[in-house]
Amino acid sequence: MTMNGKRMKAAMETVDRTVDYDLVEAVKLVKQNAKAKFDETVEISINLGVDPRHADQMVRGMVSLPHGTGKSVRVAVFAKADKAKEAQDAGADLVGADDLAEKIQKGEVDFDRCIATPDMMAVVGRLGKVLGPRGLMPNPKLGTVTPNIAEAVKAAKGGQIEFRVEKAGIVHAGIGKASFSEKNLQENVSAFLDAINKAKPSGAKGTFVKKISLSSTMGPGLKLNVSSVGA
């Protein structure tokens, strides 16, 4: 058995797969079992009672986690003149117009979030085939097509994350690092679940949040007691 295998076996022994843990206990166990040599990401996975193939059952949105994600986010901005300067001053990693579009067309997509001013959408629209499949296409509903460029860049850098339900009705996201305090992880989980509940679509019938699990990158998953987190 490899070292990783031994570590996982030992971690599994601390977790009861039949138990639905409350948030406090789950966070404590996830932190205890994050023993890799790097700072593991704490991940949440939520099974929702929706079928995203129907437009009225799509769950998508943005949420600013109170304590950030612990991950540095590279931000690209499509803007010109004063707005380009605004983006640079706010800490954007890449700023441009046609020149930036050219790089992206060539496959240079070394960023995690893409933001655009409304007047740049004619340029950005041509990049749908590259940005769309990567989930990077700027979208006014998500606040990534906006005249308030500085605000959007700071939000992206400060721990704002996007969520989107997948085909099987599952949403997952990284909501912090194992090095975060238990309190900060609990508050990030609560903020994420609150955003999911607020994004409940009109077409959702029956139980909306069916199952929640929490894990670290290399650790076992724990089931969360849905009622303990107010979901």
33 with 55, same domain? yes
Note the pLDDT of residue 36: 87
Note the pLDDT of residue 24: 93
Give the Å distances, CA to CA, from 193 to 63, 118, 121, 226, 227.
10, 30, 32, 10, 12
Note the pLDDT of residue 1: 44
E-assigned strands of the chain? 20-21, 41-48, 60-64, 75-78, 94-96, 113-116, 160-164, 170-177, 209-216, 222-224
Q: What CATH number should be reported for the domain holding residue 24?
A: 3.30.190.20
The C-alpha atoms of residue 231 and residue 224 are separated, in whole angstroms, by 10
144 with 164, same domain? no
Q: What CATH number should be reported for the domain holding residue 110?
A: 3.40.50.790
57 with 130, same domain? no
Please identify every stretch of the chain with a pLDDT value under 50, giving residue numbers as ranges. 1, 3
Note the pLDDT of residue 227: 82
Note the pLDDT of residue 6: 60
Note the pLDDT of residue 3: 46
The strand order across the sheet containing 20-21 reads 20-21, 222-224, 209-216, 41-48, 170-177
* Domain extent for 146: 75-157
104 with 128, same domain? yes
Residue 131 falls within a domain, yes or no? Answer: yes
